[in-house]
Amino acid sequence: MSAAVAAMVALGFGVIVVRRRSVATALVAVQGLVLGVTALALAGGEGGALALAGAILIVRAAAIPLLLVIARRRTPERALVAPTTSVATRLLLGTAVVLVAVAATPPLGLGERVAEHGALALLCLGITTVAVRRPALLQVLGILVAENGVYLLAIAVPGGVPAVVELGVLFDLVLVVTVAGAFAGKIHERVGSGDTDLLRGLRD
Amino acid sequence: MGAAEAAAVLGAALLLAGTVGPLLRLPSGAALALQAAGISLAGVAGAAVLCGVAPLGSGFQDGLEPALGVDGLSGFFLATIALVALPALAYGREYLRGAPRERWLVALGGLFLLALGGVVAARDAAVFLAAWELMTLAPAAAILVRRSDAEVRHVVFVYLAVTHLGGTGVWIAMLALAHYGALADPGALAGQGAAVQTLVIVGALIGFGTKAGLMPLHAWLPRAHPVAPSNFSALMSGVMVKVAIYGLVRVLFEWAAPVPLWVGLALLAAGLLSAFGGVLFALVQRDLKRLLAFSSIENVGIVALALGAALVFLWEGDRTWAGIAFAAALLHVLNHAVFKSLLFLAAGSFERAVGSLDLDRLGGLLRRMPWTGAGFLLGAAAIAGVPPLNGFVSEWLTLQALVHVAFGPALGTGLAGGVAAAGLAATAALALFCFAKATGLVLLGSPRRPEVGGAVEPGRAMRLAPVALAGGCVALAAVPGLLVPALAKLAPGAPTVAGGAALALPGTGSLPSPWLLLGIVGLTALAWRLRGGRRAAPVPAWACGQRVEPALGWTSAGFTKPLVLVLGALLRPRREVEVTRTAGIVESVTYRGEIPHRFDTHLYRPLRDRALAGAALVRRIQSGSVRAYAAYLLALVLTMLVLLRVGAIG
């Protein structure tokens, strides 16, 4: 469990740091893979739980990354969207946020302590990604990292979350990514870039 | 299921069918007929409960299960709604015919009636609040469906903004009452301490007071009522503001009872301000519908005065007089509903015939539109409190109650009662002045504009609706004594007040209203008979030797000029006179005068400016950057985590 959590947090740091959107997408896909494998391992051979974990694996590690790749293909950036913060700053910021989150995690009583820490670290890391990265696609990836964190907690709960809820969350996620991709495409069509800072002028 | 209950359920079903019907391509006439049948069945059921049939449906509940029912008080308001709605629907049949988006207006009218009935028949907080909000939204939608230019959109915005801001008070009061279980068990709130009770009372006073148009919460009313279609104005002024009174009565006399003395005194103060301020601003209006809207504020003030007197009596422990004051308030609710809807419907007919409601453009309409004009005349006499019409009866009862407060045991309440009685007397006098002006400028004299000369009566339905309501005024004037004991029974403690055709009050004498009416009718008939075949001689009026010209007629500003001069310090009229001279010879004179609504300039505008300045300050954090919003979110999550960790929350 702790290895999986450590891997996921490390991948989260990757998303906040890397320059290319394709690499970040791959990192989130791997994160989904780790999450799916952990779910499979925790399912412990029970038929229904196994099927569910398989669904998680397929959606998180394959379907969503595929949607994101399609979205990226449709929105080629002509020029580099210059990051406002340097790699070192982002890394430092991410580390600080994760440390605060882990230190402040109250006992939630939802599963193993390490899973609770990991979940909150990923949640905060995801939001930080949205806050420091300008391209729309990377912000969607930040949301996915945060979502993976919440999901980590869900699969860590002993006895599990009802299957209907898990499937519902998966369906929601696909919907969110589809809509976000469509929006990113539209914004790109109008503005010619996925840089969300260009949208500031839309405020009334 | 008894007959009354069956009538109520069938009525609601018919009303619903009449509301949905127009959207399913049912002809408007059939839909209006369905609505009329529905509301009259519901009204009959309500009247039956008022007259002693056992309450229908469920009692009040604190849960979230939807519940409906009718008890005596609800029954009275249902009957009032029906009494006004029937003529308004008949009128609407002709008034709306051929109007753009007629179906929508018909459907919205039905929805409005459903909402009004829903508020008074609701037996739990959820249904009450849902119906309450619908009641606000339906007229707004109707105004916008009919006209949607920038001016009207602004009016609707003000209406929705003010009533929704005030409406939070209703939400707070109702949810707090339901939370503490005070809807089902009125004693429950008393055990919660004074703070909760004060919260509920203040919320109710602000929330229901805004909707009722009590000053200084009335800003929306004189704006919204004039722009609504006339059949809606009649219902808004006649019934909607009364449904707010219903809410106030429920809270102050039932759910939050017994209330402390300050509530009664606050109601007396608000009532006095509304009555006097309302009639004062009504006097100086130039638009007939705006005048009528301000007069609604005045009448709601009179109702509030009577309710305040009832609360003071309850505090003093005088249940009989509390019942009389309470009955006076309800009787005035009913009376005002009848004559105000009459006046609005007649105003709609005038507008249709002439194309304007500017008092300086009308004139001589009694001769050209005898039916509508006669109805308007009678309604104006009734609202001005001319004896023995119905307005006089309820104002007399209210005045009696206030005088009785003035002679009460405690000096403070006595003083308040005296001031309120004097204020009501002044209001009644000014109301007479106001409606003398309205009838004089609209009905009498010669037409001030050529287009008025060609005015003709509308069709039968639009003619008969005001006449039927005028009949209602006379009927209510004839036998108030039959109604007052039943209304007094609805007051706390169900006191017994002597009934009979004439009104007899303990210790003050009586108002033999049927005999007064008979006497006046008899005297008029006698005078008519004695007149024989003689007619007034058709000679030209003498005007100090000048030629009689339309320019010599009264104008609305001229008629009220003496009063404006006396009350100049209060009203602060603004006038501009521009004289253009060429070589010492006056070429032209232009005059512009207006009386600003001082509540707008001195209360609402500063409030609005402060609110906007505050909003501009808050808007700085709204940067428009997605990333900044994510940063806020992150800060929120981390702060919550840290607070949880140190044990400050959770």
Q: What is the pLDDT of residues B315-330, one digit of tens each?
A: 888 888 888 899 999 9
Question: A87 near A17, Cβ under 8 Å?
Answer: yes
Whether B625 has its CB under 8 Å from any CB of chain A: the answer is: yes
Check whether B505 has a pLDDT greater than 70. yes
Same domain, B299 and B200: no
Whether B650 has its CB under 8 Å from any CB of chain A: the answer is: yes
Distance CA A34, CA A42 (A): 12
Residue B139 Cα, gap to closest chain A Cα (Å): 30
Count of A-B CB contacts under 8 Å: 62
Tell me the backbone φ, ψ of residue B505, rounded to 5 degrees: -110, 145
Given B501, B526, B552, the domain boundary residue is B501
Tell me: the pLDDT tens digits for B202-238? 999 999 999 998 988 888 888 888 888 888 888 888 8
Please, which residues have CB within 8 angstroms of residue B645's CB and are 6 or more apart in sequence? A103, A104, A105, A106
Residue A180 Cα, gap to closest chain B Cα (Å): 14
Same domain, B94 and B236: yes
Residues from chain A contacting residue B649 (CB–CB below 8 Å): none
Residue A7 Cα, gap to closest chain B Cα (Å): 22
- Which of B632, B633, B641 is the best residue to mutate to test the A interface, defined by the most A CB atoms within 10 Å of its own CB? B641
Same domain, B240 and B314: no
Strand, helix or coil for residue A77? coil
Distance CA B252, CA B498 (A): 25
Whether A130 has its CB under 8 Å from any CB of chain B: the answer is: yes
Gyration radius (Cα) of chain A, Å:
17
Gyration radius (Cα) of chain B, Å:
26
| Subunit contact B638:A139, Cβ cutoff 8 A | no
Q: What is the average pLDDT value for chain B, to the nearest integer?
A: 87
Given B467, B501, B535, the domain boundary residue is B501
Check whether B77 has a pLDDT greater than 90. yes
Window 10-49 of A, Cβ < 8 Å to B: none
- Which of B618, B627, B636, B644 is the best residue to mutate to test the A interface, defined by the most A CB atoms within 10 Å of its own CB? B627
Instruction: Give the residue, A196 or B638, on which the prediction is more confident.
Output: B638
Distance CA B310, CA B268 (A): 10
Find, among B283, B572, B297, the residue nearest to B441 by Cα: B283
In a 10 Å sphere around its CB, with 0-12 CB exposed, 13-18 middle and 19+ buried, how is residue A178 labelled?
middle
CA distances from B493 to A86, B51, B253, B568 (A): 78, 17, 10, 47
Tell me the backbone φ, ψ of residue A110, rounded to 5 degrees: -105, -5
| Overall domain count for chain B | 2
CA distances from A53 to A28, A42, A118, B376 (A): 17, 9, 19, 78
Residue B640 Cα, gap to closest chain A Cα (Å): 9
Q: Which of B626, B637, B645 sits opposite A123 (nearest CB)?
A: B637
| Subunit contact B626:A103, Cβ cutoff 8 A | no
Same domain, B395 and B477: yes
Question: B58 near B9, Cβ under 8 Å?
Answer: no
Tell me: the pLDDT tens digits for B406-455? 888 888 888 989 999 999 999 999 999 999 999 988 888 788 888 888 88
Same domain, B220 and B345: no
Nearest CA in chain B to A131: B627
Tokens of A182: 């469509």
Whether B649 has its CB under 8 Å from any CB of chain A: the answer is: no
Tokens of B473: 């005024």
Distance CA A73, CA B287 (A): 65
- The per-residue pLDDT for B39 is 92
| CA angle, residues B330, B335, B337, in degrees to nearest 5 | 95
The answer to the question of residue B555 being in a domain is: no
Which of A156-165, B33-42, B343-352 is predicted with the least confidence, judged by mean pLDDT? A156-165
Q: Which helix (H) or strand (E) holds B586?
A: strand B585-594
Whether B626 has its CB under 8 Å from any CB of chain A: the answer is: yes
CA distances from B355 to B97, B312, B348, B361 (A): 17, 48, 10, 10
Same domain, B111 and B250: yes
Domain range list for chain A: 2-73+87-202
Tokens of B157: 């915005």
Same domain, B143 and B245: yes
In a 10 Å sphere around its CB, with 0-12 CB exposed, 13-18 middle and 19+ buried, how is residue A109 labelled?
exposed
Q: Quickly count: other Cβ atoms within 10 Å of residue A65's Cβ.
A: 23
Distance CA B452, CA B176 (A): 55
Same domain, B160 and B291: no
| Subunit contact A104:B630, Cβ cutoff 8 A | no
Residues from chain A contacting residue B635 (CB–CB below 8 Å): none
Residues from chain B contacting residue A195 (CB–CB below 8 Å): none
pLDDT band (50, 70, 90) for residue B296: very high
Tell me: the pLDDT tens digits for A158-198? 766 777 888 888 888 888 888 888 888 887 887 777 777 77
Residues from chain B contacting residue A201 (CB–CB below 8 Å): 624
Whether B645 has its CB under 8 Å from any CB of chain A: the answer is: yes
| Subunit contact B624:A199, Cβ cutoff 8 A | yes
Check whether B553 has a pLDDT greater than 80. no
B617: amino acid identity, one letter: L
Window 168-197 of A, Cβ < 8 Å to B: 196-197
The answer to the question of residue B416 being in a domain is: yes
Check whether B75 has a pLDDT greater than 70. yes
pLDDT (tens digit, 0 to 9) for every residue of chain A, 204 residues total? Answer: 788 889 999 999 988 888 888 888 999 999 999 988 888 888 776 777 788 888 888 888 888 889 888 888 887 776 666 777 788 888 899 999 999 988 888 777 777 888 888 889 999 999 999 888 888 888 888 989 998 888 888 887 776 677 788 888 888 888 888 888 888 888 788 777 777 777 776 665
Task: Determine the distance from the C-alpha atom of residue B249 to the mean position of all C-alpha atoms in its chain, rounded to a whole number.
Answer: 15
Same domain, B66 and B137: yes
pLDDT band (50, 70, 90) for residue B376: very high
Residue B648 Cα, gap to closest chain A Cα (Å): 12
DSSP summary character for residue B601:
I
Given B475, B501, B527, the domain boundary residue is B501
Same domain, B320 and B427: yes
Whether B638 has its CB under 8 Å from any CB of chain A: the answer is: yes
Cα atoms found within 13 Å of the Cα of residue B204, Cβ hemisphere only: 30
B6: amino acid identity, one letter: A
Q: Which of B622, B627, B650 sits opposite A131 (nearest CB)?
A: B627
Please, which residues have CB within 8 angstroms of residue B431's CB and are 6 or more apart in sequence? B279, B282, B295, B298, B383, B384, B385
Distance CA B118, CA B65 (A): 15
Q: Which of B630, B637, B644 sits opposite A106 (nearest CB)?
A: B644
Same domain, B212 and B172: yes
ipTM, two decimals, is 0.88
| Subunit contact B641:A100, Cβ cutoff 8 A | yes
| Subunit contact A130:B627, Cβ cutoff 8 A | yes
Same domain, B450 and B397: yes
The answer to the question of residue B64 being in a domain is: yes
Whether A135 has its CB under 8 Å from any CB of chain B: the answer is: no
| Helix locations, B188-287, DSSP H | 194-212, 221-227, 230-235, 241-250, 261-283
Nearest CA in chain B to A204: B624
Task: Determine the distance from the C-alpha atom of residue B525 to the mean position of all C-alpha atoms in its chain, rounded to a whole number.
Answer: 35
Residues from chain B contacting residue A116 (CB–CB below 8 Å): none
Please, which residues have CB within 8 angstroms of residue B487's CB and are 6 or more apart in sequence? B76, B326, B327, B330, B331
Question: A96 near A84, Cβ under 8 Å?
Answer: no
Which range of residues forms the domain containing residue B443?
A: 286-501
Peptide bond into B458 cis (omega under 30): no
| Subunit contact A203:B624, Cβ cutoff 8 A | yes
Whether B630 has its CB under 8 Å from any CB of chain A: the answer is: yes
Distance CA B350, CA B39 (A): 27
B68: amino acid identity, one letter: L
Q: How far apart are the first and last CA of chain A?
A: 48
The answer to the question of residue B567 being in a domain is: no
Distance CA B428, CA B308 (A): 18
Residue A161 Cα, gap to closest chain B Cα (Å): 23
- The per-residue pLDDT for B411 is 84
Q: Which of A124, A134, A200 sits opposite B634 (nearest CB)?
A: A124
Strand, helix or coil for residue A204? coil
Residues from chain A contacting residue B615 (CB–CB below 8 Å): none
Q: Which of B634, B641, B644 sits opposite A127 (nearest CB)?
A: B634
Strands B69-70 and B503-505, by their bridges, are: unpaired
pLDDT band (50, 70, 90) for residue B295: very high
The answer to the question of residue B53 being in a domain is: yes
Tokens of B323: 């019942």
| Subunit contact B633:A202, Cβ cutoff 8 A | no
| Subunit contact B624:A196, Cβ cutoff 8 A | no
Residue that has been written with the tokens 């009313």 in this structure: B221
